[in-house]
Amino acid sequence: MDQRLTLYALAAKYQLDAAATQKLLQLAEPEPSAIANRLPRGMAIAAAALFGLGLIFWIAANWDTLGRAGHFVLLQSLCVLLCVAALGLAKARVPFCLLAMLSIGGLFAYFGQTYQTGADPWQLFAVWGVLALPLCFSAQNDVLWTPWALVVSTGISLWIHAHTGHRWRFEQEDARVFLLGWSSALLLTLALSPKMPYLKGTGPWAFRTALTLSSVMICSSAFTALLMHDASMLYYLGLLLFAIAAAALVQPATFDIYGLSIIGLGLNILLVSGLTRLLFHDQYDGEVIGKIFLIGLVAAGLLAFTVSILLRLSKRQAKAL
């Protein structure tokens, strides 16, 4: 049983005061410095999230009693108040900045629902991302950069959707749109990389969020393009991008096992999809069972090979450290 929990139980049982409890806790082993440093920050972030959730519930409960002007005044005042609190309270800057970022999104969401301006949703996400940048630079913390990466990645996906006729179609003339979207997502991932800190305060979670969303975007687009007769170039380009990303993350200076796992999964999906397309391309013979069995064997073999490579690279990196 944990020593500190036992001592806390003894203090509660014998109703010790604060001074006596502190002396009793000195008998336990010291807490790791990482826990001592991160626990207050984590509690502050959790408190900010709970406060924001309670505030949202309060606003929702009293929504009908406020007019349209009251709604905007309330949301704008909340955003300004949180920014001022983040500016004045340095120790609580990160949770206040997080709440301010969320309040900006809520304000734009209400604006979009109230006034049908005809703007595409990606434009609201783009403005949200731009307005949240000062908060991210002020906090310089992964807690802010992670949701910012989610906002920007969502805006990029919606931009692609808007410039392909508001349909998730894949035609030859749309290749330029997808290439621009993929390039933007990759630049975002590169900018948030902690190995190359172009943006101050970025950490592993912001990078991993951007990398995951970029990989999902590229993999899903390349997979769907494989089904089209005149857009298969995107499939081969997706394979090339994943191969380049894997080669970059394998290097000791930029090694990231999470990123390699995501990239490996994307490569597995695209390679198995390509094999399936090759075997079933305009052919409807009686060898369906055999082809499915072959695809299953190849998929299992690729997965086992990928896991083996990842384990070997992880051990190599551990030895180097």
Instruction: Decide: 87 and 100 in contact? Cβ < 8 Å.
Output: no
Q: What is the separation of C-alpha 99 from the centre of its chain, rounded to a whole number of angstroms? A: 17
pLDDT tens digits, 82-96: 888 888 877 778 888
Highest mean pLDDT out of 55-64, 225-234, 256-265: 256-265
Choice among 42-56, 245-259, 302-316 with the minimum mean pLDDT: 42-56
DSSP state, 117? Answer: -
Residue among 224, 242, 243, 245 nearest 234 (CA):
224
pLDDT tens digits, 38-90: 677 677 777 766 776 676 676 666 666 667 777 777 778 888 888 888 888 77
Choice among 13-27, 73-87, 233-247 with the minimum mean pLDDT: 13-27
- Total-model pTM: 0.76
Instruction: Decide: 301 and 266 in contact? Cβ < 8 Å.
Output: no
Q: Which residues contact 193 (CB under 8 A, 6 or more apart)?
A: 202, 207, 254
**Is pLDDT of 36 > 60?**
no
